[in-house]
Structure 1
Amino acid sequence: MTASRFPVLRLKPKANARAIRHGAPWVYDNELVLDRRSKNLAPGTIAVLEDTERKPMGLVAANPLSRITARMIERDVSVAIDQAWFAAKITRALQLRERLFDAPFYRLIHAEADGLPGLVVDRFDTALVVQPNAAWLELLLDPLCAALADVTGVTTILKNASGRTRALEGLDDENAVLLGQAPDAPIMVPMNGAFYAADLTGGQKTGLFYDQRPNHAFAARLCEGARVLDVFSHVGGFGLAALAGGATSALSVDGSAPALSLAEKGAAESGFSDRFNTRKGDAFDVLEALLKEGEKYDVVICDPPAFAPSKPKLDVGLRAYERLAKMAAPLVTEGGYLGLCSCSHAADLGKFRFACTRGIGRAERSGSLIHTGFAGPDHPLMPQLAESGYLKALFYRL
């Protein structure tokens, strides 16, 4: 495969070619000369990106249906995008994870930061869950999966098709078994002294959120002898980590009955059932009810879904984070701890911190910010892509 066999996309004169040369991975529709030919490219087509002087800048995955029309995947335009190419990328990613973790439970591929734009792969021992969030990955799914199996030695590969980006890229949702057989029961994942039940076929996203692992560990250090409230707990999140850290009790609150059922399975596997309870309901309603019931907790942690997933929803999302902090703060004992998390790409750390601190103040509480946490190292940050630094966790002592 040579460069001459690829179609060409060319930058407009006003496009920031320097940023792209320095590592920026995305090229938007308004930065490209999009004529009839380029607009008719099939989503996922590999193309050569050229600057205004027709000098090749690299290979990109093109999708005229997406505002991110080109994703940089390779600087060498003579390279073949095949199984061997995928294997080299996967091997490099695996080397990092094997250095970081003693057991094969982690995010193996984190999209642009691992050189594979739009791709998420989570590992659960001998099983991988692949989430291809860009059209080019759908077209090259066979060599990708062959490389994954060859490099890692796993026996099961599942495709999860629930990513928000899929809708933006015009992709149809379709989960599938790509290798082996789907597990017939949740996978028990050891983390921070507890076990988490991951449903790889029917759970949310890939089945478990590995990104909070270091924040779970930090929170656990605050929880010895503590009464803990874990809001938006998913499959046990902070609550199970708190019990592993010596909490006397943990109440997990979530709107999903299946998620709470998985949390109970994790508590049983961990030997925590006698200290673990769940409460199903809308988080804001439950917080209001607990306040009326006169409940107090030594540690309260809220880990909601993205309230501000995009810039148009930023203001509404920040108000939601402020409201959450305002409702959670009164439930914290004097000298206790409040943890507030955000996985919103659009809400940067400064805006999120301001909203949370304002909410605590509106609850007539005060305190110090003792720790700011981010995603674990198996979710590396691409420095040229601010959006990849999505997770923030703030811990206050009130």
Structure 2
Amino acid sequence: MAWKHTYLMSVIAQLIFLPPTASFTTAPSVSVKTPTWALPSSPIDNNSRKKKTKSITIKELSQKIKNNPTVETTKKAKYRRSRKRVENPKQTYLYKSQRERLERTGELPEELKESSLPDVLAQAKEFGMVPSAQHCDPDGTEPQIVGRIKVSDEENSGSYAYLIEKPAGWAILGGGGGSSSKKVEIHRKKDTKSQKHRVIIQEKDGTKDVLEYDESDILAWMTPEEIEEYNASQEAEEETKQTSITIVDQDDDSVDTVLDDDSDVVEVMVDDRDEEEDFVEIFESGPSSFETDGAPDLNEEDIDPKTLENLRRITARRQMQSRTASFAPYSRPSVVSWLKDIKAKEGMPVRGGNFWTALAGAADVDDSGLVLLCPKANAANVFVELTEYVAVLGTGGYVAPKSKLKASKGLEESIVIEELSRMRKGRLEDTVHIVKVTIPDHGSTCGHIIDTLQSKYKDGIRGDPSANPLDRRAQRRLVHCGAMTVSSLICDETITYTVPAFPDDIAILVERSTDLFKAGRFRGRSGLMDNPLTTCYREVNGIADGIPGWTVDRYDKWLFVQHDPQHQRGPLPSIHDGKTAGVYYLEARQDRSVMGSQEGIKPRLLEGQPLKGNLTVLENGIKYVVSLDKDFSTGIFLDQRPQRAWLSQNCDENTHVLNCFAHTGAFSVAAASAGASTVSLDLSQKWLGRLPEHFKANNIPFDERHDCIYGDCFDWLERLAKRGEKYDIVILDPPSSSVGGRKKKRWSIKSDLDELVSLAAKLVKDGGLLWTTTNSATLTSVKMAKMCLKGLEEAGIESARLERIQPMPYDFPSTGSQPVKNLIWRIR
């Protein structure tokens, strides 16, 4: 009966690795026929379906093996669905000619109108995205009180309602800043070895047995020798954590082990990072000096200074390791809290929290402009005579679901809509409407006009995540409350206020004057021009600004112009306006992946004063060193300004950032300015060598908390994973395509993004963030997200969700989908 014991152990060994509800699909490797109860049987008849499922134990399973060792094997039959002819098939797709004919006659059903566009909200849910949680970040601008009106006869904190001009990104009551910025604490799952496993065993007659077992049941049936072997395999995994000093020569991939000891030891890898010199990198680190038995002592004097410096950096990184991700505590700014602080400073304290309500205007986080803040108890004592809004429509036909806001009776009938402008030229299916909405004699908020506008224009509000969260085309919902008239019902008092100018993100679309430059600025950039903390931004963005093939970037007092020779040259602001010292001109196509591919083409001084060396510019108060006269790239990509702002606001001294394809390390500088530690990885030593300049300009010591690695990203992601390194944020901003690295492999983001994500995801801590960015105009956000999910699955990530899609800044308007996509993933 020895064979029966062997066979039993073979079955049990398979059970250990089966999922809780799995069935056997292959026969155990023994010389007898496999019993049918161990395999899925052929389809059962109606009578067999009536037989009940019963639970069995391993002991009963063993008895079945002894009593019935030889039974013939059956296979599960496969059914093929056949076509059935129906008299009136339900058609869910219309050809273009059919749709056009039905639209002309007005016979196109509503359900087919809705099906003409993909269900983007369902797609967003598939990626784990929560559209309602997508909001813009505040830009540093504070609200201001523009008027107040008496709403109570008593003199107390509820005596007045306040008319406040609110910037976008501020909430009325504030509170949490969303999951993207809270400190995350993850609770790991319990060890599955002690959990019960469940296997369904189906016999030929249709009877099903359910076998439940755990590790203790399996060990009870194992011999002492087998238990000893099992324990040895578990100990072997622990032994792999012991390190050794290993010299790896990448030229011939040879490995020489020079030390093996039970203590903490070091692995050293020699990597030809540059053809001119060898660079030494420490793989695993222990103390700064080592003493071992049977091998020569390793003291700091025995290691060259460059290797020792890297050893210290890696040691510092290992000391900063933690199980969960860490970010700076964050709370979205609150208008009520701000008002409470302002009044306390004036000596007129008011209450906060739910004591207040927003009666009209910009009541939502993303909305800008006027908001009427009134004490709840006295809300009936104020009357809104007139409210004016400006909205921008243009989402490619996607509309938000019908609002659940309860409007006052007659509000919809009183809405007056006036179209300010319409942008169609060169925009294909991305027509943009700018409209003014006037609502007399009713209290209303920005959200009350959404349904009416969408119904009239068959298009959604630009930037509204409830319409299309996967392609917002603006950083926020572009609705602005520009004017309001409010009266008091307890006294003869009325206030009227009109906001003097549109916010820049709306002005850039509203201002269509032929006089492109006013006082040295291009349309919609006045806020950037007047911001002393930001001196670099885009003034003209090609076809989206009506000037195809012509972009103009401002770097302090110099302009950097890029011109596609297939198009005519565009205009330039006068260099005599007192804000421009010189203009550099570069004849090149607008594609990062071909930077430097056209030999001999360099920026040249078009007019004005030349730069003497590099130039230091400001972005959100952080300094960056750029060059305008040497290369295709200046050293910083201006379209990533919101991303760098997020890093500077949400990182802290416990945040650890890995910046892949780092270029000159601008992301690393933004994170380091908030105290984060950084590792910057890039194949080009030329570009990454400029990172210390950024640090020096910001008085950030480039010490052991920061590191630069020159090498192929794919290779180094694998190496860092072998070290066991983990990061709170891993940033992937690769080129669309490239050829490079040790293997000289051609890489394309369209075909290899999933592999890159799979390697990078393993380095993200529990609750950490994986940033994926591309400037490939042909790769949609949906396709990119699907590739990222594939990579996450290949990495074995149990739970990950698309937390947000960061649109481009407003000085980079687009026609259609935005060319640069920023997808932020939360890794569990």
Equivalent residue, structure 1, for 2:516: 89
Cα distance in 2 between the residues matched to 1:244 and 1:180? 34
Q: Which residue of 2 aligns with 1:279?
A: 709
| 1:18-77 residue CA offsets vs partner (Å, 9 max, x unmatched) | xxx9624289xxxxxxxxxxxxxxxxxxxxxxxxxxxxxxxxxxxxxxxxxxxxxxxxxx
SS in structure 2 opposite 1:288? helix
Task: Note the C-alpha offset of 1:155.
Answer: 1.3
2:642 aligned residue: 214
Note the 1:233-252 alignment, pairs <5 A: 233-247=662-676, 249-252=677-680
Q: Give the superposition deviation at 1:373.
A: 0.6
> How far did residue 152 of structure 1 move?
7.0
Distance in structure 2 (CA, Å) of the matches to 1:305 and 1:88 = 37
Provide the residue aligned with 1:123 in structure 2: 554
Partner Cα distance (2:678, 2:728) in 1: 10
Matched-pair contact (CA < 8 Å) for 2:603–2:630 = no
* 1:97-123 CA distance string (max 9 Å, x none): 222451431011100111211111110
Partner secondary structure for residue 725 of structure 2: coil
| Match of residue 365 from structure 2 | none
The whole-number CA distance in structure 2 between the counterparts of 1:114 and 1:93 is: 13
Matched with 2:785 is 353
Could you tell which deviates more after superposition, 200-209 or 157-166?
157-166
- Unpaired runs of at least 5, structure 2: 1-421, 429-511, 739-746
Aligned to 1:15: none
Say if 2:652 is the partner of 1:230. no
Q: Which moved more, 1:85-94 or 1:211-220?
A: 85-94
Quote the offset at 1:190 in angstroms: 1.9
Partner residue in 2 for 1:390: 819
Return closer, same or farther for 1:22/1:182 CA change in 2, 3 Å cut-off. closer
* Corresponding residue SS for 2:787: helix
CA contact (8 A) 2:565 2:588 kept: no
Match of 1:312 in 2: none
| Partner Cα distance (2:693, 2:769) in 1 | 27
CA offset digits 1:350-380 (Å, max 9, x no partner): 1111111211121011322222112111111
Does 2:577 align with 1:154? no
Check the 8 A contact 1:256/1:280 in 2, yes or no: yes
Asked whether the 8 Å contact 1:107–1:378 carries over to 2, the reply is yes
Establish whether residue 379 from structure 1 lines up as the match of residue 812 from structure 2.
yes
Counterpart mapping for 1:265-344 below 5 A: 265-272=693-700, 273-274=702-703, 275-307=705-737, 316-344=748-776
Higher-Rg structure is: 2
Cα distance between partner residues in 1 of 2:588 and 2:563: 9
1:179 matched to 2:179? The reply is: no
Q: Secondary structure at the match of 1:149?
A: coil
Q: Secondary structure of the equivalent of 1:245?
A: coil
Cα deviation for residue 219 of structure 1 reads 3.6
Query: 2: CA distance between counterparts of 1:322 and 1:163?
Result: 28
Higher helix proportion = 1
Q: Which whole-Å deviations, capped at 9, do the CAs of 1:109-154 have from their partners, x for residues lacking one?
A: 10011121111111011100100113443xx57xx34x44256741
| 219 and 192 in structure 1: CA distance in 2 versus 1, 3 angstrom threshold | same
* Counterpart position of 1:51: none
Moved more, 97-106 or 287-296: 97-106
220 and 363 in structure 1: CA distance in 2 versus 1, 3 angstrom threshold: farther
Distance 1:215 1:136 in 2: 31
Give, in whole Å, the separation in 2 of the partners of 1:22 and 1:358.
Answer: 38
Q: Distance in 1 between matches of 2:690 and 2:537?
A: 19
Q: Classify 1:269/1:87 alpha carbon distance in 2 versus 1 (closer, same or farther; 3 Å).
A: farther
Query: How has the CA–CA distance of structure 1 residues 356 and 98 changed in structure 2, closer, same or farther, with 3 Å as cutoff?
Result: same
8 Å Cα contact 1:307/1:321 also seen in 2 = no
Measured in 2, the distance between the counterparts of 1:118 and 1:152 equals: 27
Deviations 1:303-342 (A, max 9, x none): 112249xxxxxx9532221111111000111221111111
AA aligned opposite 1:112: I
Deviates more, 1:96-105 or 1:286-295: 96-105
1:93, 1:109 within 8 Å by CA — same for their partners in 2? no
Q: Deviations over 1:178-206 (max 9, x none)?
A: 01243232212222443221111224434
Matched, 1:134 2:561: no
Residue from 4, 22, 25 that aligns with 2:426:
25
CA displacement at 1:261 relative to structure 2: 2.1
Instruction: Give the ranges of 4+ consecutive aligned residues of structure 1 lying more than 6 Å apart after TM superposition.
Output: none
Cα distance in 1 for partners of 2:585, 2:713 equals 30
Aligned to 1:107: 538
Q: Take 1:346 and 1:189, find their aligned partners in 2: how far apart are those partners?
A: 32
- CA offsets 1:230-265 (integer angstroms, 9 cap, x no match): 011112122111112331x10111122221122210
Counterpart amino acid of residue 258 in structure 1: K
CA distance in structure 2 between the aligned counterparts of 1:345 and 1:109, rounded to whole angstroms: 19
Output the CA distance in 1 between the equivalents of 2:577 and 2:515.
9
CA distance in 1, matches of 2:610, 2:706: 29
Classify the secondary structure of the residue corresponding to 2:808: coil
- Alignment check: 8 A CA contact 2:535 2:618 kept: no
> Displacement, 1:93?
5.9
User: Quick one: structure 1 residues 209 and 116, their matched pair in 2 at CA, closer, same or farther if it must change by over 3 Å?
Assistant: same
Return closer, same or farther for 1:192/1:362 CA change in 2, 3 Å cut-off.
farther
CA distance 1:290–1:246, shift in 2 (3 Å): same
Q: Which residues of 2 match residues 8-87 of structure 1 at below 5 A? A: 23-25=424-426
- Partners in 2 of 1:105 and 1:182 — Cα distance? 18
- The TM-score, its normalising length taken from structure 2, stands at 0.34
Return the letter of the residue paired with 1:155. Answer: A
In 2, Cα distance between the equivalents of 1:165 and 1:317?
Answer: 14
Alpha-carbon separation, structure 2, partners of 1:165 and 1:290: 30
Bigger Cα displacement from structure 2, 359-368 vs 97-106: 97-106
When residues 338 and 157 of structure 1 are mapped into structure 2, their CA distance, relative to the original with a 3 A threshold, is same
Equivalent residue in structure 2 for 1:369, among 789, 802, 816: 802
Three-state SS of the structure 2 residue aligned to 1:160 is strand
Residue 825 of structure 2 aligns to a residue in which SS?
strand
Number of residue pairs matched by the alignment: 303
Q: CA RMSD in A?
A: 3.1
Give the whole-Å Cα distance in 2 for the aligned partners of 1:26 and 1:134.
Answer: 21
Q: Give the distance between the partners of 2:591 and 2:758, measured in 1 at CA.
A: 32
Q: Give, as a single letter, the amino acid of the residue that structure 1 aligns with 2:706.
A: F
The 1:380/1:198 distance shift into structure 2, 3 A limit, reads same
Cα 1:104/1:305, change in 2 over 3 Å:
same
> Quick one: distance in 1 between partners of 2:591 and 2:720?
36
